[in-house]
C-alpha cells in the first residue's frame, strides 16, 4: 500500500469514527435536553454567546468567521489574492521535513 492509499484509508476510518461519535453524542444531548430543558437552554445560549464573542461562529459553509478579514492580515498583505503557501507533504522535497540534513 503506497503512502497516498494509506492516508486515504486512515482518513476514511477517521470519518466513520467521527460520524459514529457525533451520532451518539447528538442522541445523548437530545436525551439530556428532555431531562433538563431549562439547564440545556441556558448552557446552549452561554456557549453561543461565547462563540460569537471569540469569533468562532461560522457565517457561511466555507467556515468564514469574520465579516472583515482584512482586520487580521498584516498591512502589506491586504489584497484578496493572498493565500498562505503550504508545503507539499506527499513530495517531501520542500525543506527539512523529517529532520534529515
Q: How big is the chain, counted in residues?
A: 101
pLDDT at 60: 85
Tell me the mean pLDDT in the region 77-93: 52
pLDDT digits (tens, 9 = 90+) for 32-45: 999 999 999 999 99
Helix, coil or strand: residue 100: coil
Give the whole-angstrom CA distance, residue 7 versus residue 3. 6
Distance CA 60, CA 65 (A): 8
* pLDDT tens-digit series, residues 12-62: 999 999 999 999 999 999 999 999 999 999 999 999 999 999 988 888 888
Q: What is the pLDDT of residue 57?
A: 84
Amino acid at each position: 500500500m503506497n503512502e497516498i492509499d494509506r492516508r486515504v484509508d486512515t482518513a476514511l476510518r477517521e470519518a466513520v469514527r467521527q460520524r459514529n461519535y457525533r451520532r451518539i453524542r447528538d442522541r445523548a444531548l437530545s436525551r439530556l435536553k428532555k431531562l433538563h430543558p431549562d439547564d440545556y437552554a441556558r448552557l446552549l445560549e452561554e456557549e453561543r454567546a461565547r462563540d460569537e464573542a471569540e469569533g468562532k461562529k461560522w457565517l457561511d459553509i466555507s467556515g468564514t468567521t469574520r465579516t472583515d478579514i482584512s482586520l487580521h492580515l498584516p498591512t502589506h498583505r491586504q489584497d484578496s489574492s493572498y493565500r498562505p503557501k503550504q508545503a507539499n507533504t506527499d513530495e517531501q522535497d520542500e525543506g527539512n521535513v523529517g529532520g534529515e540534513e
